[in-house]
């Protein structure tokens, strides 16, 4: 046990893994099985749980689900304990872990609390030791399970203290513990409105307030489902606590409106357009309050502090009363802060959607650098009207736009999409070009020409999107006008992808194997080279030729 507490000790090598979860092995598995066997004993349970906690504290993680923390949970799980030890011994084991490894204990306590859906496998049982009494029966009664859960919930609340993060985690279980066996819900509510919590800084109270507000909203929104239906008076009780925790300062309380998950802000299911419109109005009003409080500098502090600066830019750009283009364009565009980049891109998009091309042409860009102009145009829709302005304003520096353009074609405005695809390919954006080919309104010859060019120019630095590439191959293989040799070469280049996923196959190569004896023989010679040929290659090539290696591997895969 002591050795396992030292991550740099030789014992830590027990966590080493070889291969993947299907064909490899993990050295820790045998140790965990041994400890799980010992855990069936009433005499050894506390010591075994202590050792597993030591291991969990230094566990680096890995591919295998069989981890020390998982073994702990399986042994102690209230609805299916994997030990013959009585409840008081199990509780003593957990309390000892709390003292030695509080962080491990916290995760364990959360794992032992009730869930709407939970599964567990059998732990390893002793084969020769008589740790399990002959009259022992697996499983527990409902009352035993509820009592166990109540004990762990109260212990978790004790460990949470006034930590906002931990209190938020415990909120998930507010309606889950049976009131007959536990006063957890009452105790948690008392903790949330205690003087210690109410005196926390607004930023810390904000986390609890958001979690409470979201929980109340979701219980009402999904009240037609058994998992969410609770008495309305219980929700009103939570609302009263939430109101006490609500931050006073607008720049804190309005952060909830600009989270990454808009769905938590919806009050009902359905009627999405109206709800989105309502949320946008609330956001605009919130930003006006912040501007009244401290002007544009306060707004900048705000968008840098929220989860989604993107939504701040979208709302600020949609506000017809905001006239701050001069403060944003181009000053904010040169910022290296990620939140500023999110804000300004969404601001430009929103201003364009609200005011159209007249707004774009009304901005004086004469003093802007090429990079800033390219950033501006890349924030606008990916349409012909933008490409014309790019040619006019960037001239010989058009590539500055094409390397950063957000290539999301508008299905209703696909004029000159072949022009855009061509430029994407020329600027090493073959992955984006292939995505655009999905939206093609092109003749067969133009489509196949651009498709082959995109595949031929595809580099290791491009993003591999299996489905879109596979779909492109399917379309090219059905086109009788496609250059057969070029298509076969591309099937060989992407052979790993075509063979790995079921949505496409290297059909041209299969046909060549069947119809062209010289090609078949070339594949055979490539894979099964003579000893003399290999020696000749090694003499003329002292270093490993990875390109040749990959070619041989592809030939083998194809023939197989």
Give the residue among 412, 407, 447 at the shortest CA–CA distance from 428: 407
Average pLDDT, the chain: 90
Average pLDDT over residues 221-236: 91
The secondary structure of residue 396, as a DSSP letter, is G
- pLDDT for the residue 360: 96
Q: State the pLDDT at residue 22.
A: 45
Task: Give the integer Cα–Cα distance in Å for 54 and 105.
Answer: 11
> Residue 81: how many CA atoms within 13 Å on its side-chain side?
27
Query: Helices 142-160 and 184-192: crossing angle, nearest 10°?
Result: 20
pTM here? 0.79
User: What is the DSSP track for 34-102?
Assistant: HHHHHTTSTTTHHHHHHHHHHHHHH----S-S--HHHHHHHHH-TTS--SSS-HHHHHHHHHHHHHH-H
The rounded distance, in Å, linking the Cα atoms of 306 and 283 is 13
509-528, pLDDT tens digit by residue? Answer: 999 999 999 999 999 988 88
Q: Report the first-to-last Cα separation within the chain, whole angstroms.
A: 51
Q: pLDDT tens-digit profile of 122-159?
A: 999 998 888 888 778 777 899 999 999 999 999 999 99
Contact 36, 74 (CB under 8 A): yes
324 pLDDT higher than 50? yes
Count the neighbouring beta carbons within 10 Å of the beta carbon of residue 200.
16
Measured in whole angstroms, the distance separating CA 492 from the mean position of its chain's CA atoms is 33
The pLDDT, as a whole number, for residue 23 is 44
């Amino acid at each position: 046990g002591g050795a396992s507490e030292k991550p740099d000790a030789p014992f830590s090598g027990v966590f080493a893994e070889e291969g993947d979860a299907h064909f490899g092995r993990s050295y820790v598995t045998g140790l965990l099985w041994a400890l799980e066997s010992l855990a069936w004993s009433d005499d050894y349970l506390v010591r075994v749980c202590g050792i597993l906690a030591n291991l969990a504290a230094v566990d680096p993680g890995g591919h295998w689900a069989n981890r020390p923390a998982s073994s702990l949970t399986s042994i102690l799980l209230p609805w299916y304990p994997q030990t013959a030890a009585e409840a008081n011994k199990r509780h003593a084991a957990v309390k000892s872990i709390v003292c030695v490894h509080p962080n491990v204990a916290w995760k364990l306590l959360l794992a032992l609390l009730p869930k709407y859906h939970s599964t567990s496998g059998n732990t390893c049982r002793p084969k020769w030791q008589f740790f399990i009494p002959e009259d022992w029966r697996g499983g527990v009664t409902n009352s035993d399970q509820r009592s166990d859960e109540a004990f762990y919930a109260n212990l978790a609340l004790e460990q949470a203290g006034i930590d906002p993060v931990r209190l938020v985690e415990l909120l998930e279980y507010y309606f889950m513990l049976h009131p007959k066996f536990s006063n957890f819900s009452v105790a948690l509510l008392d903790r949330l409105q205690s003087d210690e919590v109410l005196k926390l800084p607004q930023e810390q109270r904000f986390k609890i307030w958001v979690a409470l507000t979201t929980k109340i909203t979701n219980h009402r929104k999904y009240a037609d489902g058994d998992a969410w239906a609770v008495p309305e008076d219980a929700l009103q009780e939570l609302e009263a606590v939430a109101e006490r925790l609500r931050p006073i300062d607008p720049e804190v309380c309005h952060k909830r409106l600009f989270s990454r998950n808009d769905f938590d802000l919806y009050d009902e299911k359905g009627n999405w357009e109206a709800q989105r419109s309502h949320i946008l109005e609330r956001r605009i009003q919130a930003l006006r309050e912040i501007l009244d409080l401290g002007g544009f500098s306060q707004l900048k502090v705000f968008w840098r502090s929220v989860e989604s600066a993107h939504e701040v830019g979208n709302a600020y750009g949609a506000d017809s009363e905001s006239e701050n283009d001069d403060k944003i364009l181009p000053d904010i565009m040169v910022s290296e802060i990620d939140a500023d980049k999110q804000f300004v891109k969404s601001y430009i998009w929103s201003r364009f959607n609200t005011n159209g091309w007249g707004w774009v042409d009304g901005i004086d860009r004469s003093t802007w650098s090429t990079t800033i102009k390219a950033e501006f145009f890349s924030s606008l829709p990916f349409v012909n009207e933008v490409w014309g302005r790019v040619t006019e304003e960037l001239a010989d520096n058009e590539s500055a736009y094409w390397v950063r353009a957000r290539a999301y074609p508008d299905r209703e405005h696909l004029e000159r999409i072949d022009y855009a695809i061509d430029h994407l390919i020329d600027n090493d954006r073959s992955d984006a070009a292939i995505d655009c080919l999905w939206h093609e309104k092109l003749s067969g010859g133009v489509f196949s020409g651009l498709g082959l060019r995109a595949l031929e120019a595809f580099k290791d630095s491009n993003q591999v999107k299996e489905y879109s590439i596979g779909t492109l191959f399917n379309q090219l293989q059905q086109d009788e006008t496609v250059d057969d040799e070029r298509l076969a070469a591309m099937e060989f280049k992407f052979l790993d992808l075509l063979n790995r996923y079921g949505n496409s196959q290297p059909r041209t190569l299969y046909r060549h194997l069947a119809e062209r004896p010289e090609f078949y023989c070339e594949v055979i010679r490539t894979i099964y080279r003579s000893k003399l040929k290999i020696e000749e290659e090694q003499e003329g090539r002292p270093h490993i030729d990875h390109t040749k290696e990959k070619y041989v591997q592809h030939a083998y895969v194809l023939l197989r």
